[in-house]
């Protein structure tokens, strides 16, 4: 019952009754950032405003959900709406090339010396 006192509004109310996002590409590790060229929404919900404020810098959806103290599945729906409206952009983590075998060998040799 303590959960209800913390969040008296049921999650489906915050998403207008939707349980699934309009995009299936947003995952917990998805990085979000506010689109600086898009004006803020005219009448954002409190959760949308909070998410947009947090995503001024690059932030993963899971981190945003933790800060908002909301289930990830709920924040996925909110973020998806903001991506659809152009207020949030999805970024992918930069891909790094794997370390060379030579570097891995040096690390292994260094560990063996310990």
Q: pLDDT of 29-85, one tens digit each?
A: 889 999 888 888 888 888 889 999 988 888 999 999 999 888 888 888 889 889 988
Please give the pLDDT value at position 63.
94
Please give the pLDDT value at position 15.
58
Q: Is 97 helix (H, G, I), strand (E, B) or coil?
A: coil
Report the percentage of the chain scoring pLDDT > 90.
Answer: 24
Q: What mean pLDDT, rounded, does the chain reach? A: 80
Dist. CA 29–CA 31, nearest whole Å: 6
Task: Name the pLDDT band for 13 (thresholds 50, 70, 90).
Answer: low
Please give the pLDDT value at position 4.
43
Task: Name the pLDDT band for 2 (thresholds 50, 70, 90).
Answer: very low
The residue that leads in pLDDT, 95 or 87, is 87
């Amino acid at each position: 019952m303590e959960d209800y006192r913390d969040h008296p509004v049921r999650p489906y109310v915050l998403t207008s009754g939707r349980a699934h996002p309009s995009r299936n590409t947003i995952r917990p590790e998805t990085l979000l950032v506010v689109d600086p060229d898009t004006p803020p929404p005219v009448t954002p919900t409190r959760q949308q405003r909070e998410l947009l404020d947090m995503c001024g810098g690059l932030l993963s959806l899971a981190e945003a959900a933790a800060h908002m103290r909301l289930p990830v599945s709920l924040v996925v729906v909110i973020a998806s709406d903001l991506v659809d409206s152009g207020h949030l952009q999805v970024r992918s983590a930069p891909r790094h090339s794997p370390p060379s075998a030579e570097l891995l060998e040096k690390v292994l040799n260094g560990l063996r010396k310990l």
